[in-house]
Structure 1
Amino acid sequence: MVNEYDQLTAGRLIMASAVMLESNFKRTVLLMCEHSEEGSLGFILNRPTQIRVSEAISGFDDIDMELHIGGPVQVDTVHYLHARGDVIEGSQEVIPGVFWGGDKEQLGYLMASGVISPSEIRFYLGYAGWGEGQLEGEFEEGSWYTTDASRNIVFSEEYERMWGRVVRSKGGDYCFAANSPEMPGMN
């Protein structure tokens, strides 16, 4: 397998390797939104919760969508990825067609008025973050894989199968990793 860390940039997916057992990240797929020498930030795409947006975010009382676990850092904050950077001021484009953040009040109005549909947005509690050199070290240990991100993956609702499908899409030896049992001794 190639040196995965060399391929990491903002706008890429990282997937927990088959040997990652840490509970916050086991079999997760994350979209990297920031990556620099100072550190990295991303959101877990395949960890929905039973909590509704209307229960967690003031001013979003009519939004009956699930929140997702974005990561273990600052779990008292809410973030969002969306496909409507054309109408939400202050959005930051992560990959073509996928934006991060923007004006929260404007977002609430646009969702309530039907301009933005639930299929165009995901809300996250917290985020995944790494300090300087931390993620690089985890890549060197073999804890992560990386691949191209796409809008279809970011907004997919196939949460339980996402990890296997994304890892398998890399081909070669990654197909074996994607088919490995969750518990390493169980084969």
Structure 2
Amino acid sequence: MASAKTTAPSALTDPTFRRSVVLVAQHDDEGAVGVVLTSPGETPVADILEKWAPLTGDPPVAFFGGPVALDSVLALAVVPRGRPEGWRRVRGSVGIVDLDAPPAVLADAVRGVRVFVGYAGWGAGQLEEELAEGAWYVVDAEPGDVLTDRPRALWRSVLRRQGGNLGMLATYPDDASLN
């Protein structure tokens, strides 16, 4: 299952996930793995993966993928057509990049690459519990979510395109007590 998950207001206390959008790349009986799409870092991709830097989108920085395995790096790429070597489909045109592959094998196929330090992970049943508590809204991911040039505005953008009550939630202030 690959989908975007957006946090419900005040449902999670961990600031990592406050107003975040997480692309869940894998979800099965053993747990779930995803990356936070809304947290660009300050380190240029060129400083950690120089050979991949020319394929990254704007902003060309490594993103904070989540609080797990902060010593690891992974990358997602949008591939509009085909299945190039060095890329494994997650959903639609979004897939995981084999960072050991030479970038040249993907250069002509990808629309862009996004690099993440760390990831978000849930043990068996943990994400299901959080969903039952109403901590997350599950919505369909779009390829543009991965490569947005406005990642800090993605939470509002994803909710707004849902329409209805979720669309209205996009206008919810950061601190409702100030309203």
Structure 1 match to 2:151: 159
| Cα-Cα RMSD | 2.2
1:22 equivalent among 4, 14, 31: 14
Distance 2:146 2:169 in 1: 22
TM-score (norm 2): 0.85
Task: Please tell me whether residue 146 in structure 1 is matched to residue 146 in structure 2.
Answer: no
Structure 1 match to 2:2: 11
Structure 2 match to 1:101: 97
Judged with a 3 Å threshold, the aligned counterparts in structure 2 of structure 1 residues 22 and 62 are, in CA distance, closer, same or farther, namely closer
1:41 equivalent among 33, 36, 42: 33
CA contact (8 A) 1:40 1:129 kept: yes
Task: Please tell me whether residue 129 in structure 1 is matched to residue 121 in structure 2.
Answer: yes
CA deviation string 1:72-122 (max 9, x = no partner): 100110000012473333x22111111113252323x457xx5366x5110
CA contact (8 A) 1:95 1:150 kept: no
Identity %: 28
SS of corresponding position for 2:148: coil
The answer for unaligned runs of 5 or more in structure 1 is 1-9
Structure 1 match to 2:108: 115
Aligned residue type for 1:18: P
Number of residues of Structure 1 aligned to a counterpart in Structure 2: 172
SS of corresponding position for 2:19: coil
CA contact (8 A) 1:18 1:178 kept: no
1:83 equivalent among 70, 78, 88: 78
Structure 1 match to 2:164: 172
Distance 2:125 2:133 in 1: 13
CA contact (8 A) 2:76 2:97 kept: yes
